[in-house]
Amino acid sequence: MLAESNIPFVRNGGLHTLPGLISLSFPGADGEAILHRLDLLGICISTGSACNSQNTEISHVLKAIDLGDEYAKGTIRISLGKYNTMEDVEKIVSGLKKILAE
């Protein structure tokens, strides 16, 4: 869904990630701004890496995976649980498309 939008991003962590967790980085974007704009749409996400959720600086985890500053600053983390639906995922993607296309 998001990959078909022509919005540049990378998915962090490769193929071996925990179920329900996804880390996405958008070059030139501000992860905190994305967080606040999604919050206004009723969508809760996090920024940075889970190991560094209290700090607004680029996390050591993102630096360790050699993610450049241009991408690292635009990193968000989405957590889904067993009660989330496909409609929830579609709402997140729709919100990201709206925010990042501006």
Q: How many helices (H) and strands (E) does the chain have?
A: 4, 4
CB neighbours of 57 closer than 8 A, spacing ≥ 6?
A: none
Dihedral angle, C-alpha 83, 89, 91, 93, nearest 10 °: 160
- DSSP 8-state code for residue 58: P
Q: Which residues are catalytic?
A: 51
